[in-house]
Chain A
Amino acid sequence: MSFTHWHGDMEAQYIYTAGIAGERFFRELKDNGKLVGTRCPKCDITYVPPRMYCEKCFAELDEWKDVPLEGEVVAHTEVHVDIEDNKLAEPFVIGFVRIDGTQGGLVHYIKAPEVRNGMKVKAVLKDDRVGSILDIEHFAP
């Protein structure tokens, strides 16, 4: 026996604002191929992605810092299924890379023959950049 259902979907589109801190992050990435963060001098925390306020002391932050493209793998996973739960032909690795000299980092794809936590990796940038997290192709040793 099948029961009566009504199919519904939701029309919802958004334009998410990068904001004061995000604007600068994505412009630097796009125009200069650089990563930047903000620093809280009081807490000695460098935020990547940058934030215009400190999570710890709630101060407004205006100290900008160039940070390297290099970092260390802190957590990673090998993904075997797509968003519809179908098995992927090629599993891929995604992880969190702590950017050197900062308390932050980026979640991104990691490409290496064998990925280990603690491994040193570097952001590989695309040549044609548009101001998106996908301007970084992946991290690699």
Chain B
Amino acid sequence: MEEKIAVVGAGSTKFRPDTSEQNWKELMFEGASKAYTDAGLNPRKDIDSFVTCAEDYWEGFSIYDEFVPDQLGAAMRPTCTVCGDGLHGLAIACMQIMSGMVDVVAVEAHSKISDLNTYNDVVLFAFDPIYNRPLAGHPYYVAGMEMNAFLNGSGNTEEQCAGVVSKNMTNALKNPLAAYGKRVGVGDVMGSEPMFSPAKKLDIAELVDGSVVLVLARAEKAKDIADNPIWITGFGWNSGTPWLEGRTWGRASYAEEAAKMAYKMAGIAEPRSEIGFAEVDDKFSYKELMHLEAVGLAGRGQAGNDLENGRFHADGDLPINASGGSLGCGNLIEASGLHRALEVVLQLRGQAEGRQLNDVERGLAQSWRGVPTASGAAAIFER
């Protein structure tokens, strides 16, 4: 990447299933205030542009982007909302800097999903209205189908998926932001209620509220603002076919392509030897294994074995979701990808407290927009 861009501020709320006392604007204000304090910046004069990531139906507003400025310190300033995951917003923020128009940009993503009483119905509303929606039912069946095709096609197993849950929920015990940290064994997951077989209750990340904010700056500014700038050296995004009928079931093509784009920008030829740790989407347990294979951090059909051999554990060669991931921290909807990025930044800064990884230089954050999408993004961060 020619233009050097750094993360100079990072902040977030705790992730909680219930935030009844706080409204969505206050949640965003909290995340933003923490990030601005971290950066030592006053948003009313030091930040040039603001990007949020949101989707009207999650929020319960039409034209949601109108409701964004005040709680971010962005009133009467350039603001835009990306209908995408937090890493899509990060990419937009980087491009605004690369264009030369602005020097410092805040990117925000959040979930106030506890405000939505009919989450499953809104997810179903994302299905094709004529070919798919009339079949009705709980929309997560699409994940059950994908898990079935992925396990059948790759040779990974249900037990290995359960191992992902065990690892991530256990990792979350060391993350003060996490909502679902718990000591859970493979047997607990395997014995949990069948939902969308082979997916069981514990294979599925629970929803959670929270707001995550990163402040980005171009190199010459970044060095003034931050003692410990974390460099964004590559990013990418991709959408596969939205047609359930046109997909290669069992393959995360969007993740393959998004990672390829990010690796190319970062000059990474061999991700397995050049990336020290990663935070990848795990809204469903199998997704972690599927995404690791897609982004080239595990061989095809090998992610489950690597997991069992301890490679992805916090003390392994390639720690994955040391934060606890979505399984351990909660599904933050559009903020999930930005939470991945936040964790990579905290690890590279050496601020990951009890879960700090040793000697990390470069990490990957990867996102998926959730059922029923085939869309996602990726970003590379370096110390």
Q: How large is the interface on B (under 10, 10 to 19, 20 to 34, 35 or more residues)?
A: 35 or more
Q: Which of chain A's residues 102-116 have a Cβ closer than 8 Å to chain B?
A: 103-109
Q: Give the A-B contact count at a CB cut-off of 8 A.
A: 109
Verify B130–A77 contact, CB threshold 8 A.
no
B269 smallest CB distance to A (angstroms): 28
Verify A75–B149 contact, CB threshold 8 A.
yes
B195 CB contacts on chain A under 8 angstroms: 79-81
Q: Which of chain A's residues 23-69 have a Cβ closer than 8 Å to chain B?
A: 47-49, 55
A3 CB contacts on chain B under 8 angstroms: 20-21
Query: In this complex, which of A79, A103, A108 has the most chain B Cβ atoms within 10 angstroms of its Cβ?
Result: A79
Q: Which of A47, A78, A108, A133 contacts B144 (CB 8 A)?
A: A78
Verify B241–A55 contact, CB threshold 8 A.
yes
Instruction: Compute how far the CA of A81 lies from the CA of B249 in the bound complex, rounded to whole angstroms.
Output: 23
B20 CB contacts on chain A under 8 angstroms: 2-3, 5
Verify A83–B124 contact, CB threshold 8 A.
yes
Instruction: Compute how far the CA of A78 lies from the CA of B198 in the bound complex, rounded to whole angstroms.
Output: 8
> Looking across the interface, which residue of chain B has its beta carbon closest to that of A17?
B130
Verify A95–B145 contact, CB threshold 8 A.
yes
| 7 A–B contacts, CB within 8 A, in A order | A3-B21, A8-B60, A79-B196, A80-B195, A94-B141, A104-B245, A104-B246
Verify A82–B244 contact, CB threshold 8 A.
no
Instruction: Compute how far the CA of A81 lies from the CA of B250 in the bound complex, rounded to whole angstroms.
Output: 23
A68-109, CB under 8 A of B: which get 1 and which 0?
Answer: 000000111111111111010001101110000001111111
Instruction: Compute how far the CA of A85 lies from the CA of B148 in the bound complex, rounded to whole angstroms.
Output: 21
Instruction: Compute how far the CA of A82 lies from the CA of B149 in the bound complex, rounded to whole angstroms.
Output: 22
Q: Which of B60, B130, B137, B250 contacts A79 (CB 8 A)?
A: B137
> Looking across the interface, which residue of chain A has its beta carbon closest to that of B248?
A74
Instruction: Compute how far the CA of A50 lies from the CA of B20 in the bound complex, rounded to whole angstroms.
Output: 47
Instruction: Compute how far the CA of A64 lies from the CA of B120 in the bound complex, rounded to whole angstroms.
Output: 36
In the complex, whether A141 has a CB less than 8 A from a CB of chain B is no
B21 CB contacts on chain A under 8 angstroms: 3
Q: Which of chain B's residues 124-155 have a Cβ closer than 8 Å to chain A?
A: 124, 129-132, 134-139, 141, 144-149, 152
B204 smallest CB distance to A (angstroms): 11
In the complex, whether B220 has a CB less than 8 A from a CB of chain A is no
Of all A-B residue pairs in the complex, the 10 with the closest CB atoms, nearest first, are A77-B144, A75-B149, A78-B197, A75-B145, A16-B129, A75-B249, A3-B20, A77-B196, A77-B145, A83-B120
> Looking across the interface, which residue of chain B has its beta carbon closest to that of A2?
B20
B316 CB contacts on chain A under 8 angstroms: none
Verify B137–A82 contact, CB threshold 8 A.
yes
B198 CB contacts on chain A under 8 angstroms: 77
> Looking across the interface, which residue of chain B has its beta carbon closest to that of A3?
B20
Q: Which of B60, B138, B193, B247 contacts A83 (CB 8 A)?
A: B138
Instruction: Compute how far the CA of A74 lies from the CA of B250 in the bound complex, rounded to whole angstroms.
Output: 9
Verify A134–B134 contact, CB threshold 8 A.
yes
Also in contact, A79 and B131, with CB within 8 A (given A74-B249, A85-B120, A107-B245): no
A108 CB contacts on chain B under 8 angstroms: 135
> Looking across the interface, which residue of chain A has its beta carbon closest to that of B249?
A75
Verify A117–B148 contact, CB threshold 8 A.
yes
Verify B129–A14 contact, CB threshold 8 A.
yes
In the complex, whether A119 has a CB less than 8 A from a CB of chain B is no
> Looking across the interface, which residue of chain B has its beta carbon closest to that of A10?
B60
Verify B124–A75 contact, CB threshold 8 A.
no
Also in contact, A106 and B245, with CB within 8 A (given A75-B148, A76-B148): yes
